[in-house]
Structure 1
Amino acid sequence: MNHHVPDRVISTPETLVTRIHPIIGTVALDCDCRQRVNDSLGRFIEMEQQRETRRHLLSSRHQLAAIATLVDLLAELEEISWQAVDRSVFCRICAAV
């Protein structure tokens, strides 16, 4: 697995809002409008956090399925002899990895 961090800065929703907020603060907005902008930014952060949580959950489920497949294939491997005629289990193990 490659853990290389790209040269560009990785921005989270929180860091984006932190960077945007001072810019919005320089704009002359009335109190109601400023509060609506702040509320919108808060909702944006919440939605992005939910999206990221869903993405991590789906990734975890995918990894769980891959691990389960490997365990099943290893169980098959445990049951065969080195002299077995059907060596297709070795091909399935290699393909799963």
Structure 2
Amino acid sequence: MSHSSRFLAILATASLTACAVAPGPVEQQATQAGVACQQGYYGACRTAAALQPAASAERARAEQNAQVGTAVAAGLVGVAAGAIIADAARPHYYGRGYYRRW
């Protein structure tokens, strides 16, 4: 595997990992309050209900940021792939003449 192919593989992997969205702190608190509510702690039911709108907004922002990150990473992968293809298509000098690597 050539150096440029390894670089392209790393960029492709990075673009796939940009899709993952972890729960934020407000979403985690809302989830914990929801679990406590199901276990019979009625004060936690009010807390879960109060935190739910903020948790939903936090999740929406995180997903939007992940989509932007994925689009940027995909663009970088495309640029890198184009550079690799362009480099492979041009003739290279070896010894006394030019040759093509394919």
Taking structure 1 as the reference length, the TM-score comes to 0.54
Runs (5+) with no aligned partner, structure 1:
4-9, 91-97
Separation in structure 2 between the aligned mates of residue 20 and residue 84 of structure 1, nearest angstrom: 68
Q: Which runs of 4+ in 1 moved over 6 A?
A: none
Identity of aligned residues (%): 7
**Larger strand share, 1 or 2:** 2
Separation in structure 2 between the aligned mates of residue 74 and residue 54 of structure 1, nearest angstrom: 30
- What CA deviation, in whole Å up to 9, does each residue of 1:18-60 have, x standing for no partner? x4324334483796x7544211100000000001111111110
Separation in structure 2 between the aligned mates of residue 24 and residue 71 of structure 1, nearest angstrom: 53
Separation in structure 1 between the aligned mates of residue 89 and residue 48 of structure 2, nearest angstrom: 61
Runs (5+) with no aligned partner, structure 2:
1-8, 14-19
Shift of 1:62: 0.4
Taking structure 2 as the reference length, the TM-score comes to 0.52
Separation in structure 2 between the aligned mates of residue 40 and residue 52 of structure 1, nearest angstrom: 18
